[in-house]
Structure 1
Amino acid sequence: MILLDYPYVSDFLLQTIIENKFEVIATKEAKQIAGNKFNNWIAEEDAARRLRDNPHTPIYTNSENSISWIQQHTQGTGLPEIIDLFKNKYKFRQLIKTAYPDYFFKAVAVEKLRSMDVSGFKFPFIIKPAVGFFSIAVYKVDSPEAWTGTVAKIEQDIIRTQSLYPKEVIDNTEFIIEQYIRGEEYAFDCYFDVKGNPVILNILHHVFTSENDVSDRVYSSSPDIIQKLQSPIHDFLAVIGSKVNLRNFPLHIEIRMDEKGKLFPIEVNPMRFGGWCTTGDLSWFAYGINSYEHFFYSKKPDWESIFQTRKGKKYSLILLDNTTGFKPEEIAGFDYDALLADFENPLHLRKIDLDKFGVFGFLFTETSEKNESELTEILHSDLKKYIQLKSGFKNAIMI
């Protein structure tokens, strides 16, 4: 079964549902999103009954907004507890702390941030919502002197985003402070099959401009990245599987690898792949892997065959977030054609309403090894070159 919700459902996911006749739970939101595209609806009460009868029934959601549906309709199945265990970073770190005995983390209520004395903490450290999404209110703190300014930024983030996502997606009442792990960051989609075995569907390198960068601008995948990370990620998933009984369960996970090659969890997102149908769709554009079909049919990618036709290629997911310095009300438009012209092989462009969601869109690309400078350029770009300003603000583009 599929549980559709806002803010976004891709055409690729919709087409996959239609072609495979996957059952869609007939929520109000799903009906609004799909209209008359489907004839394979399942009533909410029937879906809930099926999950209560068999909590291992395969279910996938495109959006964390639908977590509230699970919490309301599947009490007694164990699903709400599993979801909360993964969504709450503090609880998840408690779960696996025996595998990371020296790892520092601490929960703190938002109203206590300003009065907290952090002078005795080891710097740098990371602070972020215990339940969060989209790198919102995530900051690296380098010194005690930076604490007050960081708290002020967090308070502004809370005001700015509290109406955009439900509490189940972002809960700013509690934050987690944890040690900063130096190393490379990665994200991947996977699922645990009917027997509880993990299956990896993609692996992406989350690239940053510096140690202080916490943005989501560029994620890149390649045969080399997958081959390098596949084995240690399987070992990491084995730790999770030893703690939680997962069957027919999809996950989107972000990790960091330290200089010794040990993986540390950043966040584990239950019941879905990457938000906004990003990483799940990228697997198709990049490798011809339909992640949704693989999950529901319990299929495993034939990586060796796939790699034979992708040698020397890198596949990237690029978030076009508003780093221009201009407010949405100052911006008349975004020159998507100019953006596409700056890339060797754009695979797919996803335009998003800036006024509603604060981003211009997502771009999926294929890049040859010799041309990786295009990824470096977009990583460091403030995107001003693509901005069309409203009358009265045009002189500001030169500042």
Structure 2
Amino acid sequence: MILLDFPYVSDFLKDTIVSNKIPVIATAEAKTIMHDQDVNWLCEMEAREIFKANPTQKLYSNSENSISWVHKHLPNSPKANLIEVFKNKFKFRKLIQDTYPSYFFQRVTFDSLEQFDLSEVSFPFIIKPAVGFFSLAVFKVDRKEDWADTVFQIQETVSKIQDMYPSEVVDNTEFILESYIKGDEYAFDCYFNEEGNPVVLNILKHLFASESDVSDRVYCTSEEIFQEMYEPIMSFLKMVGSKVDLQNFPLHIEIRKTASGEIIPIEVNPMRFGGWCTTGDLAWFAYGINSYQYFLDGKKPNWEDIFATRKNKIFSLILLDNQAKVKQEDFAGFDYEAICQDFEEVIHVRKHPLNHFGVFGFLFTSTSKGNEKELYTILHSDLTKYIRLQDAVIG
């Protein structure tokens, strides 16, 4: 069963839904998104009754905006409780606290940020919304002297984003301070099957331009990344599964691997894979895996067969975000053709009109091993060379 919502549903997911006749809950948002397509609609009342009869019924959503539907129609249900445990970063830290006894985290309200006592906080640390998404209002604080400026930036960011997403997705009333984890960062999509066993559908390494960078510009996946991370990730998932009952439940998870090899979670996002149909679609472009169908059908990838035909290849997801801070009224267009020329192979271009989300689109690329320079070039770019401004601004 699928629960669709804004801000974005990819054509690939739409085609998957239609061609496989996957039941879609007939919300107003879903009807708008799939307005002229042949959809296997399921009325909201019938969906609610199905979940009451079978609480572990499979449910996938493309967007965390739909969390509000679960809370409204399935209050106090196992799915609603799981969403709450994972979506609230403070509650998740409490859940796994005994596994990471030395890991620092603390809750603080937005209104008390300016007066917050930093005397017992170790630097550097990360501050972010306890309920958040898309690296919004996430900041790294290196020194006590940086705190006032960080609070100002948080306040400024909150004023801009508070109307972007519902409070179930980004809630700016409460923040979490937590240890800054040194190490490589990874993201992966997975699900727990009917028996409660984890199945990994992809693993991506998150590249950063610097230690202070918290953006989502580049994620890469390859056979080497899988070889390094698959077993540690499976061990981590089994630990999570021992803390909470997980059946037929999809997750998008971000972790860091320390120098000693320890896996420490950053966040666990419930009921979906990567936001904006990113990592789920990348699994198809890179590996021929339809993550949505694999979850709904309970299938497990055969990684040995998959990588046999993808040697020495790096597949990447590139977020074309507005780091140049171009104002919407000054924006005339984005040169997608020019940016594609700067890559060895662009598998798919996903264009998006610049609006309050601050996104020009996404690229899905294939890079030969040894040609990683193109990825680091785009990682450090503010995309100015591809942005076209109104004539009046240029003049």
Instruction: Tell me if both proteins adopt one fold, taking TM over 0.5 as the criterion.
Output: yes
SS of the aligned residue for 2:70 comes to helix
User: C-alpha separation between the residues in 2 aligned to 1:295 and 1:183?
Assistant: 30
* Counterpart position of 1:275: 275
1:382 counterpart letter in structure 2:
D
Asked if 2 retains the 8 angstrom alpha-carbon contact of 1:52 and 1:76, the reply is no
Q: CA separation in 1, counterparts of 2:54 and 2:208?
A: 42
> Matched residues in 1 for 2:233 and 2:367: separation?
25
Identify unmatched segments of 5+ residues in structure 2. Answer: none
Residue 389 (structure 1) aligns with: 389
Specify the alignment match of 2:258 in structure 1.
258
Give yes or no for the alignment of 1:122 onto 2:125: no
Question: Equivalents in 2 of 1:121, 1:38: separation in Å?
Answer: 55
Query: 2:309 — aligned with what?
Result: 309
Q: Distance in 2 between matches of 1:197 and 1:160?
A: 41
Distance 1:177 1:325 in 2: 27
The alpha-carbon distance between structure 1 residues 271 and 327, as it changes in their structure 2 partners (threshold 3 A), is: same
SS of the aligned residue for 2:391 comes to coil
C-alpha separation between the residues in 2 aligned to 1:67 and 1:76? 13
Corresponding position of 2:185: 185
Deviations 1:97-127 (CA, angstroms, capped at 9, x unpaired): 0000110000001101000121331110000
Taking the aligned partners of 2:215 and 2:77, their CA distance within structure 1 comes to: 36
Structure 1 stretch displaced more, 186-195 or 37-46: 37-46
Deviation at 1:75, TM superposition (A): 1.9
Q: CA deviation at 1:323?
A: 1.1
User: Which residue of 1 is the match for residue 94 of structure 2?
Assistant: 94
The alignment's TM-score, normalised by the length of structure 1, stands at: 0.98
Q: Residue 229 of structure 1 corresponds to which residue in structure 2?
A: 229
Shift in Å at residue 375 of structure 1?
0.4
Spell out, residue by residue over 1:290-326, the C-alpha distance to the aligned partner (whole angstroms, 9 max, x if none).
Answer: 0011001111000001111111000000000001242
Give the Cα–Cα distance (whole angstroms) in 2 for the partners of residues 121 and 73 of structure 1.
41
In structure 2, how many angstroms separate the alpha carbons of the residues matched to 1:302 and 1:34? 32
The answer to which of 277-286 and 321-330 deviates more is 321-330
1:48-80 alpha-carbon deviations (Å, 9 max, x no partner): 111111110001000000000000111242221
SS of match in other structure, 1:357 = coil
How many residue pairs are counted as aligned between the two chains? 395
- Amino acid in the other structure paired with 2:208: F
- Counterpart residue number, 2:290: 290
Rounded to whole Å, the distance in 1 between the matches of 2:247 and 2:270 is 12
User: 1:149-175 deviations in whole A, cap 9, x for unaligned?
Assistant: 000000011100011100000000100
What corresponds to 2:75 in structure 1?
Answer: 75
TM-score of the superposed pair, with normalisation by structure 2: 0.99
User: Which stretch of structure 1 is more off in the superposition, 50-59 or 76-85?
Assistant: 76-85
Aligned to 1:55, the other structure's residue is in SS state: coil
Which residue of structure 1 lines up, in the alignment, with residue 196 of structure 2?
Answer: 196
Q: Which residue of 2 aligns with 1:137?
A: 137
**SS, match of residue 24 in structure 1:** strand
Aligned residue in 1 for 2:219? 219
Superposed displacement of residue 215, structure 1: 0.3
The amino acid that maps onto 2:382 is D
Residues 17 and 39, structure 2, Cα contact 8 Å, conserved in 1? no
The equivalent of 1:49 in structure 2 is 49
Does the 8 A contact of 2:96 with 2:240 survive in 1? Answer: yes
CA distance in 2, matches of 1:59, 1:66: 11
Letter in 1 for 2:176: I
1:107 maps onto 2:89 in alignment: no
Give the secondary-structure state (helix, strand or coil) at the position aligned to 1:160.
helix
Judge conservation of contact 2:204–2:221 (CA < 8 Å) in 1: yes
Q: Deviations over 1:167-218 (max 9, x none)?
A: 0000001000001110000000000000000000000000001110000000
Contact 2:24 2:39 in 1 (8 A): no
Find runs of 4+ consecutive structure 1 residues off by over 6 angstroms: none
2:4 aligns with 4
Partner of 1:299: 299
Q: How far apart in 2 are the matches of 1:80 and 1:347?
A: 37
Alignment RMSD (CA, Å): 0.8
- Quick one: percent identity of the two aligned structures? 59
Spell out the pairing of 1:358-397 with structure 2 (5 A cutoff).
358-395=358-395
CA distance in 2, matches of 1:143, 1:69: 41
Matched, 1:64 2:64: yes
